[in-house]
Structure formats: structure tokens, C-alpha cells
Amino acid sequence: MSLHLYDYVLSGNCYKVRLFLALLNQHCDVTAVDFFPGEAHLSPTFLEINPAGTLPVLTDGDLTLCDSAAILVYLAQKYDNSGTWHPSTDAATSAWIQFWLAFASKLSDTVGQARLHDMLNLPCDIDATRTAGHRALRELESHLSEQGFRGHRFLIGDTPTIADIACFPYAALAPDGGIEHDDYPAVRRWLVDIRRLPRFIEMPGIHRLHDQADDPTP
């Protein structure tokens, strides 16, 4: 059996799966799906794989998963030998991971939507969407600032979890939707810390660490 990912290179949700696979050093076959402009995700062939017509899709033998959060949980529980990406022995940690997986959807629905508007001309109320995106980043900034005072570098503690991987892409890609990082120094520091992880990989709009204009980390 081998892992197989149906992927769109510009999708933040697809990228978080590719990124996590890379961090795990886990091989996965990848099929590129022409989401835009080809709309291949709505083709009869693809709808046989995922009737919802959404990306990403991960298959592992007879198992098919069609949600990025579910895919991250599955990969962590099956392929993470360290046991650090989704600790299951502590109830509070498990609850926080669930919280941030849900928060990642908020980033996708706001920051991600603004990005689709600016990059692909998809319609939305862009002013309201950007306002909601800034609200989500302020929430993230507040949490990361509090964590920083306690010496933690990541969303839940001193080591990254799938919570960080779930939230990273759309937070990092916010400028693509006209939502700049200027007012969020703790978020910028956290983005740098993610980029520093061993085996970190890029996507369009998320650059190598040495290409960043500044490093907010003391």
C-alpha cells in the first residue's frame, strides 16, 4: 500500500498536507488536479474519488480522506514515530489541537477567501472578508504573544504539532489577499519558526527563510 495525494499546488489546504508529509519524511505519490482554470475537481472521474469535489484527497490503500484536518490527524497517528505531532495522552493538549484545527478553517474562510479573490478573481465582499481575516490574525497574535511570554514557540508548547501545520499556510499567505503581517509581530515570529523546521518545503507565496525581508525573532 502507498499514500497517494490529489493535489493543487496553489491550495493552502493541499500544501499543509504536502508540508506535513515532508516534515515526517514520508513518501507520497502525488497527482496534480487542474483546479483552476480547468475545474478538473468537478470532472466525473474526480467525483468518483471524492463526490464532494474538494481538495486535498489522500488515499492509503482502501482508505480515502477528503478533509485536510482529518488527513493531518491520520498521518500523525499512523506515520509519526515520535508521537509529538498529535499527542494523545493529555486531554488538554488533544482539546487544544482540536481547537486549532477548527481555527484553521476560520483562516481558510477569511484570509484564504481574500486570497482567492485577489489571485483568481473569485467573487466575495472583499472589504468584509479582509476585516474578518484581520480579526482572525489578531486572535492568533494574541495567543502567540501570551505563549511568547511563557517561553513557548508554537501554538501549544515548545514543539510543533499538527495545530501549527494546519494554521500555518493561510496565515503565511495572508498578503496574497491584501492582509499584511505588519501589525502581527508574534505571528511573524511564529511563521519564521515554522520555516526553520527540518525538511520544510515551500509553495508559491511562501519563500525560503533566507528570502524573508526580516527576522522578528530576537
Question: pLDDT at residue 60 above 60?
Answer: yes
Alpha helices (H) in 108-215, listed in sequence order = 113-120, 126-149, 162-172, 185-195
Percent with pLDDT over 70 in the chain: 92
pLDDT at res. 148: 65
pLDDT at res. 138: 96
Rounded distance between C-alpha atoms, residue 107 and residue 90, angstroms: 26
Q: Is 60 left (phi over 0), alpha (psi -120 to 50) or beta?
A: beta
Rounded distance between C-alpha atoms, residue 149 and residue 11, angstroms: 33
Q: Is the dihedral of CA 12, 15, 20, 23 positive or negative?
A: negative
Q: pLDDT tens digits for 172-198? A: 999 999 999 999 999 999 999 999 999
Domains of the chain: 3-79 (3.40.30.10), 91-197 (1.20.1050.10)
| Cβ 49 vs Cβ 66: under 8 Å | no
First-to-last CA distance in the chain?
45
Question: pLDDT at residue 120 above 90?
Answer: no
39-43, 135-139, 164-168: lowest mean pLDDT where? 39-43
Question: pLDDT at residue 9 above 70?
Answer: yes
- The mean per-residue pLDDT over the stretch 138-165 comes to 87
Q: pLDDT tens digits for 11-20? A: 999 999 999 9
Compare 213 and 3 and report the one with higher pLDDT: 3
| Cβ 10 vs Cβ 169: under 8 Å | no
- The mean per-residue pLDDT over the stretch 151-168 comes to 92
